[in-house]
């Protein structure tokens, strides 16, 4: 089994497509891991190969994988693992998200 995410690279006329981001066997159970989303980016007649389009936090739960955006919905800052080892926090404005991705506090709207 392999973990995939649906990505919509900027300028990609084809729309959504699957991007392989990790192998299930490489994800430790219940241990969030930030992984880069790397894919080709198409704009007009130019194709950039293997461009980092962003990142996601992946958490393995048995054979399922929970994927959470690594960009804060408030202003797009990169979300990191919280110092408590449980959730996630945005270093820009102190938003805190639980392990399930639900906002606990801060200016982020969700």
Can you say whether the dihedral through the CA atoms of 46, 48, 49, 50 is positive or negative? negative
The span from the CA of 97 to the CA of 108, in Å, is 9
More confident site: 81 or 15: 81
The span from the CA of 102 to the CA of 110, in Å, is 7
pLDDT tens profile 12-65: 555 567 888 999 999 999 999 999 999 988 888 899 999 998 999 999 999 999
The span from the CA of 42 to the CA of 86, in Å, is 37
Q: Which residues pair with 51 in a beta bridge?
A: 39
What predicted TM-score, i.e. pTM, was given to this entire model?
A: 0.78
Three-state secondary-structure class, residue 24: helix
């Amino acid at each position: 089994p392999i973990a995939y995410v649906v990505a919509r690279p900027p300028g990609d006329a084809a729309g959504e497509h699957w991007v392989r981001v990790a192998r299930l066997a490489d994800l430790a159970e219940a241990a969030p891991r930030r992984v880069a989303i790397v894919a080709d980016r198409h704009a007009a007649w130019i194709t950039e190969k293997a461009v980092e389009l962003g990142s996601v936090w992946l958490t393995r739960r048995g054979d399922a994988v929970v994927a959470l955006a690594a960009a804060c919905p408030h202003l797009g800052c990169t979300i990191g693992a919280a110092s408590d080892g449980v959730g996630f926090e945005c270093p820009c404005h102190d938003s805190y998200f639980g392990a399930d991705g639900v906002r606990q506090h801060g200016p982020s709207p969700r």
